[in-house]
Structure 1
Amino acid sequence: MKMRDFPSCFGESGVQIADSSSSSSRASQNLVTCLYRTKVHGCSCTITVTWSRSLMGQGLSISIDDDANQSLCRVDIKPWLFSKMKGSKGLEADKSKVYIVWDISAAKFGSGPEPLEGFFVAVVIDHEMVLLLGDLSKEAYRKTNAVPSTSNTMFISKREHIYGKKVYCAKAQFCDNGHVHDIVIECDAVGLKDPSLEIRIDRKRVMQVKHLAWKFRGNQTILVDGLPVEVFWDVHNWLFGSPVGNAVFMFQTCLMPEKSLPWTCPQVSRDSQLSGIGFSLILYAWRNE
């Protein structure tokens, strides 16, 4: 993929980089989506966990899709029902018994909709714990009576909305059992003739883009924990679009053939991820006015 084709696949994934008029309300932007890859009876499937927050409260959605991108099952815990911060749901999925259990009654939250600690969310398929989120693992196993899964569930992608005026912050773990890193994106594009972009990881500058007006889309490889990470950016809306437009950044732990972007075209994304392409972090950066 050539860089001039960078935004060509947007829209299928719900975000138009070159047209901020398609952006939704601030409430709907307050969500975090995480994708996990696992195997059920030897077949690959993807578990999507979406955390959301609105004026009505917290929301949680969990869906399981098979290798053909067909939905096996889905659970939506709507914000107006989330006053019950713990519960369970039993489902049938392709002749398998799925049991989803959650307890967020004592969870601690930061600025985003994803809980930080004091919670668990468990996905059990045929009595195996295929996905366990949170720090209350003992409580999760006691509640579900599940056994550890024989398959290795992998965290493959995270999409998150972040906000700021000049500085935008996020956290990421680029490999299993790796360090959790602080990511800082700094860009003062308002009223400057020659704006620049800087990215720091754990306070160390790893990337700087000067003459941003000419390089508003691009990619560059950096090293994190000795691992090459390809960074893609698109700040067109910040420089030339609507004042409420967003920029998009992606951190991809593996280089992909022809620099294809797994978060722009869903089918390309899914095929790449299921073949073990690695972890990707997608950040939608919104400017606070």
Structure 2
Amino acid sequence: MRNIATCYSEHAVRVSDSYCSGPLNKSYVSPNSIPAVQSAVSQTFKANIDAEKRLLVTVTWCNKLICQGFFLKLSRTNHPTTTGSHHRQMGKPKGSRRVGFEENGPANVQVCWDLSSARFESGPEPLGSFYIVILLADSQTALFLGDMEDNPNVRNLVSGYDIRTLSLVSQYEHFNGQGSNPISTRVRFGGSGSEHEIMIKCGPEEDGPRSPVLSISIDEKRVVRVKRLQWNFRGNQLKDIT
């Protein structure tokens, strides 16, 4: 099985994969093309604990064929080397667990979650009816992710804690499938504003060259077109999409 990974930020989109290579005079299309399926989504959030402390929370959602539940990683950004825990798997639909920032450090963070009624579509990321609560014992701060703020269990968990907002700073999506199938996702640049649709396609163009071409479109407007993929490439392009 071949796969393609997409990684984007507010100003750049980068994609590379060896299967984009092919002969100049030959179209690179598999007769049994496998539709691209989203297999994992990794989101990194930032929380301001106080004027000096920042916390990064990375949540990775995987489909059921890869794992059950989700993975969680916590990192302090006020440390000179940005210390952080390893990815810890929360494998049950509902539960709680104590974790620490260091692998062998004190377990001073409590994570509580409930995915038992979560709504999903085609991807591994839940769309609603779930919550993840992160309680920081040393600062009496609570971080909340989900849409069940009024759930009695959530209100009881965060009682007496100062609730802080989680701001999305980056997102990574992994797809399985053939490169000739378009891959699309929706995102808000900078964490605010309206959603944009990003589509990535690697393959021959209908009215263009027979050799494979990588194209990236935002809101159905092509912003990046990379030719001669058989040469292998490294680079970047900056486009204004406003």
Partner of 1:202: 219
Q: Which has the higher contact order (CA 8 A, sep 6+)?
A: 2
1:121 aligns with 2:132: yes
Separation of aligned partners in 1, 2:121 and 2:148: 18
Partner of 1:280: none
- In terms of fraction of residues, the more strand-rich structure is 1
1:87 aligns with 2:114: no
Which of 49, 52, 62 is matched with 1:52 structurally?
Answer: 62
Scaled by the length of structure 1, what TM-score is found? 0.55
Q: Deviation at 1:168?
A: 1.1
Letter in 2 for 1:201: I
Separation of aligned partners in 2, 1:18 and 1:199: 17
Contact 2:184 2:198 (8 Å CA) reproduced: yes
1:162 aligns with 2:175: yes
Which protein has the larger Cα radius of gyration, Structure 1 or Structure 2?
A: 2
Which of 99, 102, 116 is matched with 1:105 structurally?
Answer: 116
Q: Deviation at 1:74?
A: 6.2
Separation of aligned partners in 2, 1:138 and 1:223: 40
Scaled by the length of structure 2, what TM-score is found? 0.64
Equivalent position SS for 2:150: helix
Separation of aligned partners in 2, 1:168 and 1:92: 37
Cα RMSD for the two superposed structures: 3.4
Partner of 1:222: 239
Equivalent position SS for 1:222: coil
Separation of aligned partners in 1, 2:85 and 2:200: 38
Equivalent position SS for 1:124: strand
Contact 1:209 1:215 (8 Å CA) reproduced: no
Separation of aligned partners in 2, 1:52 and 1:124: 24
Residues 1-289 of structure 1: pairs in structure 2 closer than 5 A: 30-40=39-49, 42-55=52-65, 58-66=68-76, 67=79, 68-71=81-84, 75-78=88-91, 82=92, 85-91=93-99, 97-126=108-137, 127-130=140-143, 132-139=144-151, 141-146=154-159, 147-149=161-163, 153-164=166-177, 165-189=180-204, 193-214=210-231, 216-224=233-241, 226=242
Q: Deviation at 1:161?
A: 0.5
Separation of aligned partners in 2, 1:36 and 1:205: 29
Contact 1:196 1:211 (8 Å CA) reproduced: yes
Separation of aligned partners in 2, 1:194 and 1:76: 42
Separation of aligned partners in 2, 1:74 and 1:220: 32
Contact 1:162 1:170 (8 Å CA) reproduced: no
Contact 2:42 2:171 (8 Å CA) reproduced: yes
* Count of residue correspondences: 194
Go from structure 1 to structure 2 and tell me whether the alpha carbon gap of 1:57 and 1:153 turns closer, same or farther (over 3 Å shift).
closer
Separation of aligned partners in 1, 2:221 and 2:149: 34
Partner of 2:11: none
Separation of aligned partners in 2, 1:166 and 1:92: 41
- In terms of fraction of residues, the more helix-rich structure is 1
Q: Percent identity?
A: 29
Separation of aligned partners in 2, 1:163 and 1:181: 22
